Amino acid sequence: MIWRRHRFALGVCRSHRIQALSERPNYVEPSDELEVYQPAAWPSGRGGNVGSRTGDKPDSYKELFRQQVVLARFGELALKSHNLDEILNEACRLVGEALSTDLAKVVQLQEDGETLFVRAGVGWKPGVVGHIRLALTDASSEGHALKTGEMTISPNIEEETRFEYAPFLMDNGVKAIANVPIIGGEGRPPFGILQVDSREPRQFTESDILFLRSYANLLAAAVDRLRFLSEIQNANEVLERRVAERTGELSKRTHDLVEANRKLHAEAAERERAQTALHHAQQTGTVVEHLPMGAGLIAPSGQVLVANPEFRRLLPLSIIPSMDYSMGKDWIALHPNGERVEPQDYPGARALRGEVTLNIDFRHWSSSDGERWLRVSGIPVHDDKGGIAAALLVLLDVDEEKRAAERQRFLTRELDHRAKNILAVVQAALRLTKADDMPTFIRAIEGRVSALARAQAILAADRWSSADLRT
């Protein structure tokens, strides 16, 4: 569609150029400075006016050449530039040069279809280009041009009775205006209007009209090309986003598959270790069954695979406490120095890491037995490859030992206390005993100590509860 428009626009330009060349001898290609060759002599009979502008034929040819140069220069820009604002502003500048007008602008039809926005322009006071918005009505020349699709010209807006004009036009001294629709692509609304404004009343000639139509078609083709490129770019960006999203989804799925595969391998390895541990358990089951202490084989997951009755009595759980932190309040392990052991350092957990841990005392509390002391040891069990297949956990009931030791410590303290009391009594007896000589003093002290010894014997015979002083 864009190529066909370019061909149409260039065809119009070509016919316009041929028409100009057919009326002029000694053709010389004009330069970029819009200076054209002045023939030495023109054929007679071709003088006269062009519209309201006076002058001879050479002036009209200069205008034609200037317009052709502008078409060529703008056509190159329209094909090369990818910046719509650059194209629109340059279009306004060049059309002003071609028609020798002071003002030009491009008003763009907005998406609501009811508003025109001054998108580009040259020669206007500040606050017009990029700011002014016009309501599109049937009473405006812009509305008439877009409604009919034809160029609308007002040679002198002060004498114009068909349309109403925006105040900013008067403020900028506009006297004449030509509205050229910038058509849209197939199935699209018009892009807007190319407006050529003059500060002097002006009759636009047939050559001007043909030039403006060709120029507007070139501008429409450029706009449509950029629109098409923008749509392609947007579609490409959407496609890239979708590809990125799809790639992200695939990456996530791949990660999930890898993670699932890793878990499957881990589960398979766990099952293999469990089978190895079970094999060891079957081999050692008879020995463990008859041990005089609690013994159990623990899987790497913490599950109790095999255990003798004593183990089940002391640890009636399916999983060891180091793998079930919810039981932390019921199981308290202590180092020999009395410091608390963290669950990850319990013998079972350390044995499953390959460490040998012996004789860690646990104070266990249960609602049925109350507080009870256990001594726990953990030993790793290796498989054929040197890995950890299981852990052997040994439980020893040391509650009586702990309580006996506590009683012993109490009796020792009590004995120490009473011995100190006896020594204090003896010391008091020594201070209170008086005698004239040493033999008398010795006999008195011996008597008192013997009486104290008899009192101790009487109290001990009655378990230190009471004694009859008359005995």
DSSP string computed for 288-346 = HHT-SSEEEEE-TTSBEEEE-HHHHHH---SB-GGG-GGGTTTEEEE-TTSPEEPGGGS
CA 372 to chain centre: 54
* pLDDT beyond 60 at 31: no
Q: Give 468's pLDDT tier (boundaries 50, 70, 90).
A: low
If you average pLDDT over residues 155-166, what whole number do you get?
A: 91
**Highest averaged pLDDT of the listed ranges 117-131, 225-239, 286-300, 345-359:** 117-131
- Alpha helices (H) in 177-205, listed in sequence order: none
Mean pLDDT computed over 142-156: 91
Compute the average pLDDT of residues 237-246: 86
pLDDT digits (tens, 9 = 90+) for 169-186: 999 999 999 999 998 877
- 255: which residues sit within 8 A by CB, 6+ positions away? none
Place of tokens 């039809």: 109
pLDDT tens digits, 183-209:
887 778 898 999 999 999 998 888 888
**Stretch 392-399: mean pLDDT:** 84
The whole-angstrom separation of Cα 438 and Cα 415 is: 33
Highest mean pLDDT out of 33-42, 255-264, 267-276, 277-286: 255-264
Per DSSP, the three-state class of 365 is strand
Are 107 and 119 within 8 A, CB to CB?
yes
Distance separating alpha carbons of residues 91 and 283, to the nearest angstrom: 97
User: Is the distance from CB of 21 to CB of 216 less than 8 angstroms?
Assistant: no
User: And the tokens for 354?
Assistant: 């390959």
pLDDT of residue 174: 94
Which helix (DSSP H) or strand (DSSP E) does residue 239 occupy? helix 206-289
Please list, in sequence order, all residues whose beta carbon lies within 8 angstroms of the beta carbon of residue 332, skipping any fewer than 6 positions away.
340, 362, 363, 364, 365
Residue 384's Cβ-side half-sphere holds a number of Cα atoms within 13 Å equal to 4
State pLDDT tens for residues 108-121: 999 898 999 999 99
Backbone dihedral angles phi then psi of residue 119, each to the nearest 5 degrees: -85, -35
**Least confident residue range of 39-48, 292-301, 339-348:** 39-48
Closest CA to 223 of 458, 5, 452: 5
pLDDT of residue 47: 32
Q: Which two tokens stand for residue 377?
A: 């040891």
Cβ–Cβ under 8 Å, residues 215 and 224? no
pLDDT the model gives residue 40: 35
Of all residues in the chain, the percent with pLDDT exceeding 90 is 14
Q: What is the mean pLDDT of residues 423-449?
A: 81
Q: Quick check: 277 and 390 in contact, CB under 8 A?
A: yes
Residue 16: pLDDT over 60 = no
The DSSP string of 147-158 is HH-S-EEES-TT
- Averaged over 402-423, what is the pLDDT? 80
- Of residues 293 and 156, the one with the higher pLDDT is 156
Name the phi and psi angles at 106, rounded to 5.
-120, 120
* Confidence category of residue 14, pLDDT binned at 50, 70, 90: very low
Residue 130 pLDDT exceeds 70: yes
Asked if 259 and 374 count as a contact pair (C-beta separation under 8 A), the reply is no
User: Nearest to residue 121, comparing CAs of 108, 137, 136, 134?
Assistant: 108
Task: Give the model's pLDDT for residue 301.
Answer: 85
Does 13 or 442 have the greater pLDDT score? 442
Residue 448 or residue 11, greater confidence: 448
Q: Got the DSSP string for 422-439?
A: HHHHHHHHHHH---SSHH
Q: Is the per-residue pLDDT at 284 higher than 60?
A: no
Region 93-100: what's the mean pLDDT? 86
Interatomic CA distance for residues 412 and 11, integer angstroms: 124
End-to-end CA distance of the chain: 137
Backbone angles phi, psi at 231, to 5 degrees: -65, -40
Asked if pLDDT for residue 399 goes beyond 50, the answer is yes
Q: What is the largest CA-CA distance in the chain?
A: 181
Asked if the model's pLDDT at residue 81 lies above 50, the reply is yes
What is the C-alpha separation between 13 and 7, in angstroms, rounded?
10
Instruction: Reply yes or no on whether the pLDDT at 158 is more than 50.
Output: yes
Phi and psi angles of residue 294, each rounded to the nearest 5 degrees, phi first:
-75, 130
